[in-house]
Amino acid sequence: MDKHIPPRLDVFLDISTYLTGFPLIDLQSTGMAEVYFNTIVAHVNPQTIDQFYDACESILKLKSTEAINETIEKELIPNGNYAGLGQKIILMWYLGTWDGNVISAQSYTQSLVWEVAETHPPGAKQPGYNSWSEPPIKINC
Protein backbone atom coordinates (compact mmCIF):
# COMPACT_ATOMS: atom_id res chain seq x y z
CA MET A 1 0.00 0.00 0.00
CA ASP A 2 1.19 3.49 -0.84
CA LYS A 3 2.61 4.93 2.36
CA HIS A 4 1.35 8.39 1.41
CA ILE A 5 -2.31 7.41 1.76
CA PRO A 6 -3.35 9.20 4.92
CA PRO A 7 -4.32 7.01 7.85
CA ARG A 8 -8.08 6.79 8.37
CA LEU A 9 -8.88 7.73 4.78
CA ASP A 10 -10.64 4.36 4.69
CA VAL A 11 -12.77 5.33 7.70
CA PHE A 12 -13.60 8.63 6.01
CA LEU A 13 -14.67 6.83 2.84
CA ASP A 14 -16.63 4.11 4.66
CA ILE A 15 -18.60 6.56 6.76
CA SER A 16 -19.09 8.73 3.65
CA THR A 17 -20.95 5.89 1.94
CA TYR A 18 -23.54 5.95 4.74
CA LEU A 19 -23.65 9.75 4.96
CA THR A 20 -24.13 10.27 1.21
CA GLY A 21 -26.06 7.18 0.16
CA PHE A 22 -23.46 6.52 -2.56
CA PRO A 23 -21.47 3.29 -2.87
CA LEU A 24 -17.73 3.42 -2.34
CA ILE A 25 -16.92 3.09 -6.02
CA ASP A 26 -18.97 6.19 -6.87
CA LEU A 27 -17.18 8.21 -4.21
CA GLN A 28 -13.77 6.99 -5.30
CA SER A 29 -14.49 7.67 -8.95
CA THR A 30 -14.94 11.38 -8.24
CA GLY A 31 -11.20 11.49 -7.56
CA MET A 32 -11.91 13.83 -4.67
CA ALA A 33 -11.48 11.53 -1.64
CA GLU A 34 -8.07 12.75 -0.51
CA VAL A 35 -8.88 16.39 -1.24
CA TYR A 36 -11.97 16.21 0.97
CA PHE A 37 -10.14 14.24 3.65
CA ASN A 38 -7.42 16.90 3.71
CA THR A 39 -9.96 19.72 3.68
CA ILE A 40 -11.16 18.43 7.04
CA VAL A 41 -7.58 18.31 8.30
CA ALA A 42 -7.06 21.89 7.21
CA HIS A 43 -10.16 23.25 8.95
CA VAL A 44 -10.90 21.19 12.05
CA ASN A 45 -8.75 20.74 15.11
CA PRO A 46 -6.95 17.38 15.18
CA GLN A 47 -8.45 16.22 18.46
CA THR A 48 -12.01 16.65 17.17
CA ILE A 49 -11.12 14.83 13.97
CA ASP A 50 -9.69 11.91 15.96
CA GLN A 51 -12.76 11.75 18.16
CA PHE A 52 -14.97 11.85 15.07
CA TYR A 53 -13.16 8.97 13.37
CA ASP A 54 -13.12 7.00 16.64
CA ALA A 55 -16.89 7.37 16.75
CA CYS A 56 -17.12 6.40 13.08
CA GLU A 57 -15.06 3.25 13.65
CA SER A 58 -17.33 2.04 16.43
CA ILE A 59 -20.43 2.84 14.38
CA LEU A 60 -19.07 0.98 11.36
CA LYS A 61 -18.52 -2.10 13.54
CA LEU A 62 -22.24 -2.32 14.29
CA LYS A 63 -23.90 -5.43 12.91
CA SER A 64 -26.71 -4.08 10.74
CA THR A 65 -27.09 -1.23 8.29
CA GLU A 66 -30.13 -0.18 10.26
CA ALA A 67 -28.14 0.08 13.46
CA ILE A 68 -25.40 1.97 11.69
CA ASN A 69 -27.84 4.48 10.21
CA GLU A 70 -29.68 4.93 13.53
CA THR A 71 -26.45 5.63 15.34
CA ILE A 72 -25.20 7.97 12.62
CA GLU A 73 -28.41 9.94 12.98
CA LYS A 74 -27.98 10.25 16.74
CA GLU A 75 -24.19 10.64 16.90
CA LEU A 76 -22.87 12.19 13.70
CA ILE A 77 -25.69 14.26 12.23
CA PRO A 78 -26.45 16.71 15.06
CA ASN A 79 -24.55 19.90 14.33
CA GLY A 80 -23.32 20.21 17.90
CA ASN A 81 -21.32 16.96 17.62
CA TYR A 82 -17.76 16.82 16.29
CA ALA A 83 -17.80 20.39 14.93
CA GLY A 84 -20.69 19.50 12.62
CA LEU A 85 -18.44 17.16 10.64
CA GLY A 86 -21.26 14.75 9.73
CA GLN A 87 -23.21 17.39 7.82
CA LYS A 88 -20.10 19.04 6.43
CA ILE A 89 -18.91 15.79 4.88
CA ILE A 90 -22.25 15.34 3.14
CA LEU A 91 -22.09 18.87 1.74
CA MET A 92 -18.52 18.32 0.51
CA TRP A 93 -19.55 15.27 -1.51
CA TYR A 94 -22.84 16.69 -2.75
CA LEU A 95 -21.80 20.28 -3.46
CA GLY A 96 -18.00 20.35 -3.35
CA THR A 97 -18.13 23.08 -0.72
CA TRP A 98 -16.76 23.70 2.75
CA ASP A 99 -18.60 26.31 4.81
CA GLY A 100 -20.27 27.52 1.62
CA ASN A 101 -17.02 27.98 -0.32
CA VAL A 102 -16.21 25.87 -3.36
CA ILE A 103 -13.13 23.82 -2.48
CA SER A 104 -11.73 23.73 -6.02
CA ALA A 105 -12.85 23.82 -9.64
CA GLN A 106 -12.76 20.02 -9.60
CA SER A 107 -14.86 19.77 -6.47
CA TYR A 108 -17.57 21.69 -8.34
CA THR A 109 -17.46 19.56 -11.48
CA GLN A 110 -17.29 16.36 -9.41
CA SER A 111 -20.04 17.27 -6.96
CA LEU A 112 -22.64 14.52 -6.64
CA VAL A 113 -25.81 16.62 -6.56
CA TRP A 114 -25.94 16.84 -10.34
CA GLU A 115 -26.01 13.09 -10.79
CA VAL A 116 -28.73 12.78 -8.16
CA ALA A 117 -30.68 15.48 -10.02
CA GLU A 118 -30.25 13.47 -13.23
CA THR A 119 -28.17 16.08 -15.00
CA HIS A 120 -24.58 17.35 -15.20
CA PRO A 121 -22.80 20.26 -13.52
CA PRO A 122 -23.67 23.39 -15.54
CA GLY A 123 -20.65 24.39 -17.61
CA ALA A 124 -19.04 20.93 -17.55
CA LYS A 125 -19.59 17.36 -18.79
CA GLN A 126 -21.94 18.72 -21.46
CA PRO A 127 -24.14 16.03 -22.94
CA GLY A 128 -24.21 17.45 -26.49
CA TYR A 129 -26.48 19.12 -29.01
CA ASN A 130 -30.18 18.35 -28.69
CA SER A 131 -29.69 16.17 -25.58
CA TRP A 132 -32.02 18.44 -23.62
CA SER A 133 -34.97 17.68 -25.86
CA GLU A 134 -35.01 14.04 -24.68
CA PRO A 135 -35.13 12.59 -21.16
CA PRO A 136 -31.64 12.08 -19.72
CA ILE A 137 -29.88 8.89 -20.68
CA LYS A 138 -29.57 6.46 -17.79
CA ILE A 139 -26.09 5.05 -17.76
CA ASN A 140 -25.96 1.71 -16.04
CA CYS A 141 -22.52 0.38 -15.34
Q: What does the binding site for another protein look like in residue numbers (CB under 8 A)?
A: 18-22, 69, 72-73, 77-78, 86-87, 90-91, 94-95, 97, 100-102, 104-106, 108-109, 113-114, 116-120, 122-124, 126-136
Q: Are 20 and 90 in contact (CB under 8 A)?
A: yes
User: Please, what is the minimum distance in Å from the beta carbon of residue 93 to another protein?
Assistant: 10
Identity of the residue, 27 or 46, whose beta carbon is nearer to another protein in the bound complex? 27
Residue 99 to residue 9: CA distance in whole angstroms: 21
Q: Are 82 and 51 in contact (CB under 8 A)?
A: yes
User: Please, what is the minimum distance in Å from the beta carbon of residue 107 to another protein?
Assistant: 9
Identity of the residue, 48 or 106, whose beta carbon is nearer to another protein in the bound complex? 106
